Chains A and B, each alone.
Chain A
């Protein structure tokens, strides 16, 4: 049971990759990409967690109470915000693709066509 967070992280990553590979719509594959990103958040937070520890905020608990790791939380939180902006960028690219090539099906998007 203690392996479950890691198992879930790997599961989410593989499920997201499956979604990208079998996707028939570019927007669907972009969302699946953000699902793959979320698997890394789960993994990072699982690494930093400690049994019976509090959150690393010491406003109302005495200093020195055992707390979970704040460094991985800092990494994950900037990751979430910036990942959202990059996904928006991918969506803009998809919008432009649709304008010029009239299709959003990855199978019909030929990279060699001019």
Chain B
């Protein structure tokens, strides 16, 4: 296994833990966006550019946007 894959896997594992450990929703949104980015990098190291592209767009852009909008709506 190449070193890049090893590092990417470890970073993703840490990122998953960080996403769960961030209890406050707004903070968690930023962390989940970063997690989506690290997943995208992992998918690249696994020779899957299509999946990386769609994960970056959804998990790092569209999804955190909707989470933030939903959080903003519920805080009044």
Contacts and interface: CB of A to CB of B under 8 A. Distances in A.
Q: Do chains A and B touch in the complex (CB under 8 A)?
A: yes
A80 B55 contact: yes
Contacts of A2: 1
A92 B66 CA distance: 9
Interface string A26-41: 0110111011001101
A48 to B, nearest CB: 8
Contact of A35 (B19, B50, B70): B19
Given A5-B9, A31-B32, A38-B16, A54 B47 contact: yes
Contact of B46 (A28, A31, A68): A68
A49 B25 contact: no
A41 B51 contact: yes
